[in-house]
Structure 1
Amino acid sequence: MLQSKFPMFVAWGPELGFLYNDAYAQVLGAKHPDALGRRFDQIWKEIWPDIISLIEAALAGEATFQEDLPLLMNRKGFEEQTWFTFSYSPILDDEGRVGGMFCACTETTETVISRRRDAFRLSLERRLHGLADAAQIMAAAAEALGRELGIARVGYGEVDPTGKDVIVESDWIDGRIGSVAGRHRMDNFGPEIVGELRAGRMMWVDDVNTDPRVGPSSAAFAAIDTRSVLAVPLFKEGRFVAMLYLHHPEPHQWTESETGLAREVVEQTWQAVERARAEAKLRELNESLERRVAEALAESQREQEKLRETERARRESDALYRAYFENAPEALFMVRVEPDGSFTAEEINPAHEAGVGFKIDDIRGKRIEDFMPPEAAKKVVDAYRQVIQSGVVLQYREAFELNGGPQYWDTSIVPVRDADGRIGRIIGSSRNVTRQILAEEALHQSQKMEAMGQLTGGVAHDFNNLLAPILGTLDRLHRKGTGDEREQRLVTNALQAADRARTLVQRLLAFSRRQPLQPTGVDVAKLVRGMSGLLSSTMGPQIRLIVEVADDVPPARADANQLEMALLNLVVNARDAMVDHSGTVRITVSAETALADTRSGLAPGRYVRLSVADTGSGMDQATLARAIEPFFSTKGIGRGTGLGLSMVHGLAAQLGGALTISSQPGLGTNVELWLKRSTGQADGGEQNTRALESEPTSEGVALLVDDEAVVRLSTADMLSELGFEVVEADSAAAALDLIDEGLRPDLLVTDHLMPGINGCQLALRLLEQGIIGKALVITGYAELDGIDPSLPKLNKPFTRQDLVQRLAELGSSSN
């Protein structure tokens, strides 16, 4: 538990004494380190009523699991709403009774808040879109934001043309404080605060009694029962026109999530207000026009001059309407209702033509079914018929396959009656929300993949530490020939299984972008040509391999060993996709210059492109969308780990490149691995022949530092076999104590990720001081703080031969 990167704790004994790891200290906040060893109910007394039933169940022997449980915690000096996913498991003592409980947890507060914020935005948009009055829109937005954030008072104030006063028509309150509707002089609230707003910057004060920007102006806030405030200014055409304000009667720490949401709501609300006011003016204009035409017709015999004036007004109104129709950013349309109940296109504006793709000259007078795809036409006609039957405005979201892809539109349609009361036309407006919908889907997918990557990387790292002594022990038993023939076969089988486990862990680390890489300049063309024989034998005689390498392909920045594994994975996938085990696989290597690609995330620049294309069965869109997910496989149970493509994708991302996949059922698949060009020359790749010909004879003292006792024991045994006198330390601090006592080792072998000083820092310090001449850093994966590229590395888990080769290379470089 102590070495895990996931938050964990144990509550033990009758008083449930609290023990936890470093990761859980982040959950405790200011309660750490005083919480260590204290009673569970004293540490989390504020949430004790929420979790006592779960604790009692665990102490009764029943494991429990909670997902996204809301908890009101006080861990930073103030109450905050949090959400956690966790499990409680009973732990048995030596007598078989429940002696305590174990918990593994993860905080999901940000994820839950993100989901709630997304739902809130969509709900608010739908609610505002259904309102036609500006005051109603502002009141609805204020209420929604206040309830979402739990704020006592929220409202909109419009700034008068002089910029001195703010006018509040109404605001929303939750009952704790009163309304501030009316006219207020802005300067009363302090020059610094008002200056921020007039400069167009959002302003917030956690406590007006302690914030130096408020000063003597705190009396103005006290008069309206306000201790904390958030204000968002709104500028239109360079003028300060309005602001959203949030007031709280108590001090309140405003979070980045709250301020960001407030800014979005301001813009969203004001757009809805402007739309409502424009529509109101248009309705008022139409009503005025109808009244004036009717009056002119009644008096037409007596007042011919008034009729002509009215006609001119009508033409002006038509011109105004036409200007609005032609220039509106929303897609506007008019449909005629035919006597037989069908619907024909009558008019669309330029925004409609640009967004949907239909031209008015091509569709005017045609029935909806004659120019729209059948599925889309049915949805549209059904909506029109619903309006005819109800006689009221209809608002809905449409999803169509238009212009080669899915499109989402928010639409409002209005029935228009003629003089006889019959609905003869339908007018409407549509707004394309495809980008918003796709962005939300992309965000959810990104969050999902990031969470899976974090989980996978953490598990793989812990498994590496477990696998290291297993592989080392089996390797020694295999080399020593321990046991009879049957036992030797069992050791050989176990060693092969451990090696397969090492490969699986490397794939997990590759997917999570945490594998230890040694990137150099790699001649990709030479690497592919050198592997062609192996790849041909892997695919079998019925599959044709074609290798195409362009001239003068520059070296790429990559890890040669990992690149070989990636290419082999891609070729095996291509082989398994072949129908009847026959077809063609084409491997292409070329130099490319790429522009920005939002689909793959590839940055502009110069790259080396490695392509593997097959003539296999291909993938449909649903399968293609999940192709790089870890553990997703179409090969069936027992035929694949589902980590091949995810490993290649993780490798590409870790090297600063990208992986792209294109595929269609029946037409095969093309996978492209894009690698950044290397700024140096290609590594020749020659191995140290002395390291491979014989084992080095080693003498001297080796200082071995590793906080994992089982890993340290296995490594110490290998070093002893090689002739070293081994001195062990379980931390960098313990190693430095040995140095201070006079130890002068010939070699330092150290794990990297340890509490306190890490292995990289220890090695650099001893090398710079001249205490050691050689150092080797052992690592389980590429930690966030990284390892100095000048230090030799050895990846966990490793065999004796791996250690021998790395030490030989150290000796060669020192010579």
Structure 2
Amino acid sequence: MAAEERLRQSQKMEAIGQLTGGVAHDFNNLLTVIRGSVDLLRRDNVAPEKRQRYLDAIGDTADRAAKLTGQLLAFARRQTLEPEVFEVGQRLDAIADMLDSITGSRVLVRFEVPDAICRVRADVSQFETALVNLAVNARDAMESEGTVTIRLCCDARMPSIRGHGPGTGDFVAVSLSDTGIGIAPDDLERIFEPFFTTKDVGKGTGLGLSQVFGFAKQSGGDVDVESVVGKGSTFTLYLPQAESTVPGEPRPTGQQEAIDGEGRCVLVVEDNISVGQFATQLLEDLGYGTAWVTSAEEALDRLGSDGDGFDIVFSDVVMPGMGGIELAKRLARDLPAMPVVLASGYSHVLAQEGAEGLELLRKPYSASQLSAALQRRIAWANERNG
């Protein structure tokens, strides 16, 4: 037993080392592009076309960094999901052309979808991303030539997976089978680890399947894999089945794409000094008035009993003491007319409880995304309050 415990600890440390090494490697590559572009922008007499090229490089690299952190948070089950009830067959039909394009002309994608209605409650975007990641994995396993079969099964039972007991209740099972090279038995146990990949250097980050795993677990399901070397693999995504649609909170139209703050006053609640300074400067450049506090407790003091002088509260989620979600709940109780927008790049609270009824802005956010979120919430509050 002691030897087994030492072995498990050794494997755990190896996995942590692989994860941190992979993160450091990928982020160093991204930071190299950003740092180099900034240095070149600081040079005198940079031609306008070159300046735009460097700015585009910084923007594109920031987008890739955001995608990388999103994949890591998905595996860690710490991403913030936006679950809704949807019909799985309809979503498969909607992304069929995209899957055909991703897998290539030499890969035949077949669908076996029953006539029965199969509903789940999950994040639609993450669901589609999971299918894309599975399809890309299948394409690479077949060296871009073969057949991918996607099957949908309603009222399924989730079996025992990786030593965990079987799931309770009904599940929707989406299986993706390929005719590729299969997975070696020794690799099956590690296939969902971040940055673990059997592909050649430069052909994969090892984060696609970890996203599928994290999304499934965070949604109350799981993902199973069966494989025979030389004959192919089958990945099955299990998601809890939903009985009926649940109406979501309608989002008002109009002004959502507007940028100008038109003098509206925003109370910024952010404990990180750099982020707080950046957010207030960004809002002021967009035409908003701002006040900045570093804690939810201080925000409640500034708002007082009537919130006079402020049009909206923009708060971080994770802070020492009272967090952003608790602050939003306090304001909904004490100042129901005060709209709130939350921002977070990582929150186990939101990952577990969701953000239903709240306007959530994911970090990193752009200037237009921030202003649109604020104006959308202000418009929503105005409509609700008459």
Please indicate the TM-score interval, normalised by the length of the shorter structure. Answer: 0.7 to 0.9
Contact 1:520 1:678 in 2 (8 A): no
Matching residue of 2:201: 637
Q: Which amino acid aligns with 1:583?
A: G
Matching residue of 2:186: 622
Higher-Rg member (1/2)? 1
Matching residue of 1:494: 58
2:355 equivalent to 1:792: no
Matching residue of 2:150: 587
Q: Which amino acid aligns with 1:756?
A: G
1:545-570 deviation line (CA, Å, top 9, x unaligned)? 11222222332121111112111111
Q: 2:217 aligns with which of 635, 640, 653?
A: 653
2:348 equivalent to 1:764: no
Q: Which amino acid aligns with 1:782?
A: S
Q: Distance in 1 between matches of 2:174 and 2:9?
A: 26
Structure 2 residues without counterparts, runs of 5 or longer: none
Contact 1:521 1:555 in 2 (8 A): yes
Identity percentage over the alignment?
A: 37
Q: Distance in 2 between matches of 1:568 and 1:627?
A: 17
CA shift for structure 1 position 614 = 1.1
Contact 2:315 2:343 in 1 (8 A): yes
Matching residue of 2:338: 773
Q: 1:690 to 1:615 in 2, by over 3 A?
A: farther
- Partner-residue secondary structure (3-state), 2:188: helix
CA shift for structure 1 position 717 = 3.2
Q: Distance in 2 between matches of 1:715 and 1:658?
A: 38
Matching residue of 1:813: 380
Flag the structure with more relative contact order, 1 or 2, with Cα contacts below 8 A and sequence separation at least 6: 2
- Partner-residue secondary structure (3-state), 1:617: coil
Q: 1:556 to 1:724 in 2, by over 3 A?
A: same
Q: Distance in 1 between matches of 2:75 and 2:364?
A: 18
- Partner-residue secondary structure (3-state), 2:182: coil
Q: 1:728 aligns with which of 280, 283, 292?
A: 292
Contact 2:342 2:361 in 1 (8 A): yes
1:689-708 matches, within 5 Å, as: 690=254, 694-695=258-259, 698-708=262-272
Q: 1:698 to 1:664 in 2, by over 3 A?
A: farther
Q: 1:510 aligns with which of 74, 99, 103?
A: 74
CA shift for structure 1 position 736 = 2.8
Q: 2:135 aligns with which of 571, 576, 588?
A: 571
Matching residue of 2:369: 802
CA shift for structure 1 position 686 = 9.6
- Partner-residue secondary structure (3-state), 2:321: coil
1:270-295 deviation line (CA, Å, top 9, x unaligned)? xxxxxxxxxxxxxxxxxxxxxxxxxx
Q: Distance in 2 between matches of 1:623 and 1:500?
A: 28
CA shift for structure 1 position 799 = 1.3
- Partner-residue secondary structure (3-state), 2:215: helix
Q: 1:663 to 1:771 in 2, by over 3 A?
A: closer
1:600-639 deviation line (CA, Å, top 9, x unaligned)? 6341220111111111111111122221111111111122
2:174 equivalent to 1:610: yes
CA shift for structure 1 position 598 = 4.9
Contact 1:600 1:659 in 2 (8 A): no
Q: Distance in 1 between matches of 2:247 and 2:132?
A: 21
Structure 1 residues without counterparts, runs of 5 or longer: 1-117, 123-439
CA shift for structure 1 position 811 = 3.9
Q: Distance in 1 between matches of 2:255 and 2:66?
A: 23
Contact 2:77 2:215 in 1 (8 A): yes
1:631-673 deviation line (CA, Å, top 9, x unaligned)? 1111111221111111110111111101001111111111111
Q: 1:450 to 1:641 in 2, by over 3 A?
A: same
2:111 equivalent to 1:544: no
Q: 1:751 aligns with which of 294, 316, 321?
A: 316
Matching residue of 1:310: none
- Partner-residue secondary structure (3-state), 1:603: coil
- Partner-residue secondary structure (3-state), 1:723: coil
Matching residue of 2:117: 553
Matching residue of 2:273: 709
Matching residue of 2:282: 718
Q: Which structure has the highest strand share of the two? A: 1
Matching residue of 1:216: none
- Partner-residue secondary structure (3-state), 1:639: coil
Q: Which amino acid aligns with 1:757?
A: M
Q: Distance in 2 between matches of 1:809 and 1:446?
A: 50
CA shift for structure 1 position 692 = 6.0
- Partner-residue secondary structure (3-state), 1:637: coil
1:319-371 deviation line (CA, Å, top 9, x unaligned)? xxxxxxxxxxxxxxxxxxxxxxxxxxxxxxxxxxxxxxxxxxxxxxxxxxxxx
Q: Distance in 2 between matches of 1:629 and 1:635?
A: 14
Q: Distance in 1 between matches of 2:112 and 2:61?
A: 36
CA shift for structure 1 position 691 = 5.7
Contact 2:344 2:363 in 1 (8 A): yes
